[in-house]
């Protein structure tokens, strides 16, 4: 894929989608400590106004965690890699029918977790995470119970394995599906999508905007196999580019 290293000139007809960690803020050792500086919040708010509100954050974090970083700014957002999405009117959307099925899976796990000290069941709303960091000897038991929980949830769920954690989540949701869902609604509909991200999980977003004749911008050194068409060197370059938006496009008074 041909890559260009120049960030595109601003256009007020864009729908802008921005990843958070590694894109707007540098990745920290303690992700819970990340906060957006006032300058970044101002710049996002101004850019959002210039785009008539067509700016959304698209992150692997939960929406609650995104809000904590950018408070008091509250933007349209997709959290947990597209599992939850807050539209421009503030309504939060989850995959259809997920709630009962997560509840069935939770019911399957609760007894086991209560009977085994050291285990932690984290309810993310649209996903369930079983942490066994403090009880590593129970890894196989956790796998077995998570498989039962997956069965209880039914089809279209899958278990994702992390470091000392098993996570049950709905399948078929990613940053790309979240972006496409925004593009069905005002004020995003009818605009040219632009997505900026840095990570492997952002590739779904790059492919989604490419398929809509949009612009895909990847932060960091060029990577083989990336679907992104444009490279931004680092977080600072993205921030400079955001700041430039206010000089390049008319911003209505707030
Ligand atoms: Mg990122």
What domains can you pick out in the chain, each with its CATH number? 14-94+173-248 (3.40.50.1000), 98-170 (3.30.70.1020)
**Catalytic option among 19, 87, 198, 199:** 19
CA distances from 250 to 10, 51, 98, 185 (A): 10, 9, 42, 23
Structure token digits, residue 8: 């595109």
At 227, the pLDDT band (50, 70, 90 cuts) reads: very high
Q: How far is the CA of 241 from the centre of ligand 1 (A)?
A: 17
Percent of the chain whose predicted confidence (pLDDT) is above 90:
75
H helical segments located in 154-251 = 175-182, 203-211, 235-248
| Mean pLDDT, range 5-34, rounded to an integer | 89
- Provide the pLDDT for residue 247: 77
Q: Look at residue 35 and tell me whether its pLDDT is greater than 80.
A: yes
CA-to-CA distance for 40 and 74, rounded, in angstroms?
13
State the pTM of this model.
Answer: 0.83
The owner of tokens 């050194």 is: 221
Q: Look at residue 149 and tell me whether its pLDDT is greater than 60.
A: yes
Q: How far is the CA of 148 from the centre of ligand 1 (A)?
A: 32
Q: How far is the CA of 100 from the centre of ligand 1 (A)?
A: 30
Establish whether 202 is a catalytic residue: no
**Cβ-contact 10, 249 below 8 angstroms:** yes
Report which listed range, 92-106, 115-129, 136-150, is most confident.
Answer: 136-150
CA-to-CA distance for 145 and 143, rounded, in angstroms?
6
Q: Between these two residues, 15 and 95, which has the higher pLDDT value?
A: 15
| Mean pLDDT, range 63-83, rounded to an integer | 95
The owner of tokens 């840095």 is: 198
pLDDT per position as a tens digit, 180-217: 999 999 999 999 999 999 988 899 999 999 999 999 99
Q: How far is the CA of 60 from the centre of ligand 1 (A)?
A: 8
């Amino acid at each position: 894929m041909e890559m260009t290293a120049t960030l595109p000139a601003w256009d007020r007809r864009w729908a802008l989608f921005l990843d958070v960690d590694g894109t707007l803020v540098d990745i920290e050792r303690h992700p819970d400590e990340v906060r957006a500086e006032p300058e970044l919040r101002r710049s996002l708010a101004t850019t959002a106004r210039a785009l008539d509100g067509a700016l959304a954050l698209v992150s692997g974090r939960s929406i609650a965690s995104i809000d904590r970083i950018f408070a008091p700014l509250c933007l349209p957002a997709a959290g947990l890699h597209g599992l939850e999405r807050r539209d421009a009117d503030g309504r939060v959307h989850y995959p259809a029918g997920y709630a009962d099925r997560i509840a069935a899976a939770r019911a399957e796990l609760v007894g086991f977790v209560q009977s085994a000290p050291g285990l932690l069941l984290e309810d993310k709303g649209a996903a369930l995470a079983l942490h066994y960091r403090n009880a590593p000897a129970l890894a196989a038991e956790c796998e077995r119970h998570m498989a039962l929980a997956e069965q209880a949830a039914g089809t279209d769920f899958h278990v994702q394995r992390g470091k000392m954690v098993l996570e049950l989540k709905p399948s078929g949701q990613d940053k790309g599906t979240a972006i496409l869902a925004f593009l069905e609604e005002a004020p995003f509909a009818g605009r040219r999508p632009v997505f900026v991200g840095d990570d492997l999980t952002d590739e779904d977003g790059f492919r989604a905007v490419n398929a809509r004749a949009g612009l895909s911008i990847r932060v960091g050194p060029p990577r083989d196999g990336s679907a992104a068409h444009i490279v931004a060197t680092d977080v600072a370059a993205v921030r400079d580019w955001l700041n430039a938006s206010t000089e390049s496009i008319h911003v209505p008074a707030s």
